[in-house]
Amino acid sequence: MIYQVYPRSFADGNGDGIGDIAGIRSRLNHLSALGVDAIWYSPWYPSPMADAGYDVADYRDIDPVFGTLAEAEALIAEAHALGIRTIVDVVPNHCSDVHPWFQAALAGGPEAPERELFWFRPGRGPDGAEKPTDWVSPFAGDTWTRTTNSDGTPGDWYLHLFAPQQPDFNWDHPRVRAEFEDILRFWLDRGVDGIRIDSAAMLAKDPTLPEATPDGPNPFVDVDAVHEIYRSWRRIADSYPGERALIGEVWLPDHERFANYLRPDELHAAFNFDFLGCAWEPAVLRACIDATLAAHAPVGAPATWVLSNHDVTRHVTRYGRTDTTFSFAAKREGVPSDLELGTRRARAAALLSLSLPGAAYVYQGEELGLWEVEDIPHELRQDPMFARSGRVDPGRDGCRVPLPWTGDTPPFGFSPDGAAAPWLPQPADWKDRTVRAQTGDPHSMLELYRAAIAIRRADPALGDGDLTWLSAPAAVLAFSRGGGFRCLVNLGDAAVPLPPHERLLLASGPLDDDLLPPDTAVWLRTTEEPGAPAVPA
C-alpha cells in the first residue's frame, strides 16, 4: 500500500503553519503503525508556489519552506529503517517561470538559445496579436502568454498547458531529455525507490501545433513520441540495484492507449483514474474493475486502485452526493452531500479497494475519514484552478486542508503550540477525526484501515493475483481472491444474507445478525469452492 503525503498539509514542525519535512519525520510512526509500504511525496522543490509546488524552479533541492536536502535525505533513511520506501514526484511537462532556463529565454530575446528548450512561437495575424493555437488548458483558459521584447514591443508567445507561471518544456530538444535523465539519477542516487511522473501523457507535442479537434488525435496529450522518453527512463531505473519504480499520472479514456505506457520497457504502473471517478453503482464498478484488469493483463503490469488524491474531491464527500462520480468539468460549489452516507460508503470502498489485485494508494487523511472542506473563504483559496475558472470551479484546496492529529480545537496538533495558523483553515468538527481521537476506537475509520492493511499484508492471496467473481444479487459485488478469502460489498438498498463462512475477518460497519446491510462490505474466510454462490439468491 502506497500512502500519498502532501507535504504542505501533513505536519508542521517549525510552527509557520505550513507542513514540512521536520513534521513528516515526527509523524513517521503514524505511517509505520498504519502499515504503509511506501510514501509518495508531492513536490517539495524550490518553487514560487504558483501551483502549490508543481511549478518547479530547481529539481535538485528542497524549498526552504519544507526544509533542506539534508533533511530529505535523513527522511528517506529513517523511512527505510522502518521498512518504508520513498517515491518522489517529478514534474517534467513544465517548470516554473523563474527557472533559470526560462529566465534566460526571456532575457536573451528572440535569439536566445534557451528559447528552443520551450515552445516559443510567433502569434498569428499580421501583427502576431493572435495566440498560436486555440488549445484549452486543463486549468481552464488560454495556453499561450505573449512576451515583451526589450524595447517594449510585443514579442513571441510561449506555451503553458497549465498556468502562465508554468512554461512547457520542448521535449524534442536533447538538452531537455538529458536534463531530466540526470534529475532521475540525482534522486535515485539518494535512495529513492520510485518516481511519480506528473502529467505523464503530456510531455510530447505535435511539433506542427495543429488545433485540437473532437475527432482527431490530441496534439498535446498522448502523442506517440512520449514513449521513447519513458523507455530511456526505464533503462535508467533498471540500472539501479533493487526495485525502482516509475509511476505515471496518465489520464486517458482509451484503455489500450493507457496500457501502452505500461509495456515492459516503459513505466511500471500508472494511476487508475477510471476507478477513482467511478459511480457508487454495482454494475458500473464491476465493469470498471473488469476493464482495469483486462487492460493491465496483456502488458503484465499491476493495476492501481485510487479513491482520492491531492487533485480531486475527497470521496467521503463524493459518495454522499446524488452524483457519486468525479470529473473536473462538473466540479462546482454548493453541491449538497450527506456526509454520514458518504462515510459509510467510504468505509466499504476502503475494503473493496484494499482487496483488489494490484497496488492500493491512500491519500493522506483518507484513513481518518476526512471530508472535502467546501467553505474555505474565497480570499484564502490558493489553487489557480479557482481563479482561472472565474471562480466557477472551487479548486482543489478543499482536499488539501492540513491534517488533524490531536486536541479539540484547530490546529489539532498540525503545528506546535503557539504556531502560526495553518495555511488553510481546518473545520472545528474535525475534533472527532484526529489520529488521537480515533486510535483505539474499534469503530473508527483509522482502526478500520489499520486492520484492513494488516490483513492485506499478512495474506499472500491479497495484492497481485487473480480475482474470481462469485454469484450474488445484482446489487452485490462478490469475489474470491484465493485461500478462501472473499469480499462482499452491498451497494443496494436492502440487506442481504451472508453466505456460509468459517470466519468474519472484517466488516466496514455493523452487521444485522447474518445480514449485510446496504453500503457495507465484509471480508470473509471460507472453505467453499469458488464456483459456489457467494450470497444466497
- The candidate with the shortest Cα–Cα distance to 247, out of 33, 21, 42, is 42
Each residue's pLDDT, cut to its tens digit, for the chain (537 residues) gives 999 999 999 999 999 999 999 999 999 999 999 999 999 999 999 999 999 999 999 999 999 999 999 999 999 999 999 999 999 999 999 999 999 999 999 999 999 999 999 999 999 998 999 999 999 988 778 999 999 999 999 999 999 999 999 999 999 999 999 999 999 999 999 999 999 999 999 999 999 999 988 888 999 999 999 999 999 999 999 999 999 999 999 989 898 999 999 999 999 999 988 999 999 999 999 999 999 999 999 999 999 999 999 999 999 999 999 999 998 888 898 899 999 999 999 999 999 999 999 999 999 999 999 999 999 999 999 888 888 788 888 889 999 999 999 999 999 999 999 999 999 999 999 999 999 999 999 999 999 999 999 999 999 889 888 999 999 999 999 999 988 999 999 999 999 999 999 999 999 999 988 999 999 999 999 975 545 555 654
- Residue 533, pLDDT score: 54
DSSP characters for 122-160? PPBSTTS-B-S-----TTSS-SEEEEE-TTSSEEEEEE-
Alpha-carbon distance of 429 to 457, in angstroms, equals: 33
What is the grid cell recorded at 80?
527505510
- Residue 177, pLDDT score: 98
- Residue 207, pLDDT score: 96
Backbone angles phi, psi at 365, to 5 degrees: 90, -20
- Residue 534, pLDDT score: 59
Summary mean pLDDT of the chain: 95
The pLDDT tens digits for 70-119 are: 999 999 999 999 999 999 999 999 999 999 999 999 999 999 999 999 99
Alpha-carbon distance of 288 to 294, in angstroms, equals: 10
- Residue 464, pLDDT score: 87
What is the grid cell recorded at 235?
533503462
- The candidate with the shortest Cα–Cα distance to 312, out of 322, 324, 301, 302, is 324
Q: SS3 of 177, please?
A: helix
Q: 323-337 burial, b if ≥16 CB within 10 A, otherwise e?
A: ebebebeebeeebeb
The sheet carrying 2-5 orders its strands as: 269-270, 245-248, 194-197, 85-90, 38-41, 2-5, 359-363, 304-306
- Residue 498, pLDDT score: 96
State pTM to two decimals: 0.94
- The candidate with the shortest Cα–Cα distance to 349, out of 490, 188, 171, is 490
Whether residue 411 is preceded by a cis peptide bond, meaning omega within 30 degrees of 0, is yes
Alpha-carbon distance of 323 to 116, in angstroms, equals: 45
- Residue 390, pLDDT score: 82
- Residue 384, pLDDT score: 83
Whether residue 207 is preceded by a cis peptide bond, meaning omega within 30 degrees of 0, is no
What is the grid cell recorded at 269?
504502473
- Residue 138, pLDDT score: 82
The pLDDT tens digits for 379-389 are: 999 888 888 78
- The candidate with the shortest Cα–Cα distance to 364, out of 43, 66, 111, 31, is 31
Helix (H) or strand (E) holding 507: strand 503-507
